[in-house]
Amino acid sequence: MTSAEEIWSLLREQVSPRGTETIGLSAACGRTLREAACTAEDMPPFDRSAVDGLVVAAAEGSEIFTVVGEIRAGQANLPVLAKGNAYRIGTGAPVPHGGEVIMLEDAKADGDRVSFLRRGANHIRRRGEDARAGEMVVPAGVVLGDGQIALLASVGWVRPLVTRRIAAQHIATGNEIVDPAEIPGPGQIRDANSALVLAWAQQHGIACAQARLGEDAEALRDRLSPDADLLLISGGASVGRHDYTEAVLREAGFEIPVTKVNARPGKPLIIGRRGEQWVFGLPGNPLSHFVCLHVFVDAAVSAMNGAAPSPVLLSSHVTDPIPGNPRVTWWPAKAESKGLRPLRWASSGDLTALASADALVRVPVSGLAEGARAEFIRTR
């Protein structure tokens, strides 16, 4: 049995980043940046007023100033600040050389005459105070969200180089599964894993083709598309008589470094590779499936995207005790203001906890006491 840590190391070391493409910012959300973005100019590019206020010469100690004009945001030509003169200035407007900005709240106006209650606070965002020309602002490997995209826009990095979309092929196997829209007959159950994998792929921006097979080695072999970056086989990892998945994969040229993981739920996990292509044979039980996707397949996807190593183990407190088990358990939980609330699950086939789970708590063999600090993985 392989430990979770060994699997993460394996994936980090062996899964290679996929190719790249250049795209527009409006299509970049969720994609992984592959080339560090730098600013060509100082940020901000000029001294800017941080407030709505008045600007005078900083060296000028007069009691009373005359408001002689206005400097607006976007204005190109700036006045020279002469003795006794003040200008209204808007937030974001350029500050003339040697200027001091006084906020409106500190000014007392009487017609065009103005005096100040307070000087010296100088509300200016200085040229280059955020970043200097040439400095990196977003490193390679970052998954682009709204904040990163705003930052790229602010430095004119409008055609970022990102990882191309990852292609996955998902194959749900099993004689007992039927389409969720059907009413299952005796001994049958609805295929929840295909819906799970599709939504998971959508959340990751992965293009995912899907097929539902019975237990048919030949049909499975035919679906092992050499074009997919990632192959996911649901229900193909049990240890009994019908587990032909491993044999089919070996025949198809896959090396199989992992056949069992020391984790619960989800023990019978197959991980294989064929060149750059990776396959995961996932347990058929939907909760095991969910755990394996988030704990292990996510790590492979991060590596394919050239992103920071995944999973990121965060830490928080559990609000209730969680029993231990000879195997490390990934326990469904919900992050709440008081900490991580463990959710009830009856078995590895019990999906009901997933109505509210947004985290998987790593439960050590000894269990966790109420209020104990625990590591967890976010699942959404």
Question: What residues numbered 311-330 form the site for its own copies, per CB under 8 A?
Answer: 312-316
Judged by beta carbon, residue 61 or residue 380, the one nearer its own copies is 380
Q: Which residues within the stretch 181-240 sit at the binding site for its own copies (CB under 8 A)? A: 181-200, 202-203, 214, 235, 238-240
Other Cβ atoms less than 10 A from the Cβ of 171: the count is: 26
Among residues 100 and 273, whose Cβ is nearest to its own copies?
A: 100
In the complex, minimum distance from the CB of residue 31 to its own copies, in angstroms, rounded to a whole number: 11
CB of 277 to its own copies, least distance (A): 23
Q: How many beta carbons lie within 10 A of that of residue 121, not counting itself?
A: 14
Q: Which of 118, 175, 247, 250 binds its own copies (CB under 8 A)?
A: 175
| CB 310, min distance to its own copies, A | 13
Strand partners of residue 124: 49
Select the span of 23-31, 225-233, 247-255, 299-307 touching its own copies (CB under 8 A): 23-31
Residue 192 is encoded by which pair of tokens? Answer: 């929840």
Q: How far is the CB of 262 from its own copies (least distance, A)?
A: 15
Minimum distance from residue 306 beta carbon to its own copies (Å)? 16
Query: Does 65 help bind its own copies (rule: CB under 8 A)?
Result: no
3-class SS at 172?
Answer: strand
In the set 87, 278, 290, 330, which binds its own copies (CB under 8 A)? 290
Taking CB under 8 A as the binding criterion, the range among 171-179, 248-256, 273-281, 297-305 that sits at the site for its own copies is 171-179
Among 1, 5, 14, 29, binds its own copies (CB under 8 A): 29
Minimum Å distance from CB 24 to its own copies?
9
Structural tokens at position 216:
């048919």
Cβ-proximal residues to 218 (8 Å cutoff; 6+ apart), any chain: none
Given 266, 286, 306, 342, the residue binding its own copies (CB under 8 A) = 286
Closest to its own copies by CB, 127 or 223? 127
The length of the chain is 380
Closest CA relative to residue 330, chosen from 276, 267, 265, 236:
265
Of residues 140 through 169, those in contact with its own copies by CB under 8 A are 142, 144-156, 158
Of residues 91 through 130, those in contact with its own copies by CB under 8 A are 91-94, 104, 125, 129-130
Contact criterion met (CB below 8 Å) for 238 and 283: yes
The three-state DSSP-derived secondary structure of 96-153 is: CCCEEEEEHHHEEEECCEEEECCCCCCCEECCCCCECCCCEEECCCCECCHHHHHHHH
Could you say which residues in the range 251-280 bind its own copies, by CB under 8 A? none
* Least distance between its own copies and beta carbon 270 (Å): 14
How far apart are CB 1 and its own copies at their closest, in Å? 13
Q: How far is CA 20 from the centre of its chain?
A: 18
Q: What is the 3-state secondary structure (H, E, C) of 42-109?
A: CECCCCEECCCEEEEECCCCCCEEEEEEEECCCCCCCCCCCCCEEEEECCCCECCCCEEEEEHHHEEE
136, two tokens: 């990196």
Contacts with 65 (C-beta within 8 Å, 6 or more apart), sequence order: 54, 56, 84, 85, 86, 113, 114, 115, 116
- Return the bridge partners of 113, or none: 66, 110
Tell which one of 67, 252, 354, 372 touches its own copies (CB under 8 A).
354
Q: Applying CB under 8 A, does 309 fall inside the site for its own copies?
A: no
34 binds its own copies (CB under 8 A): no
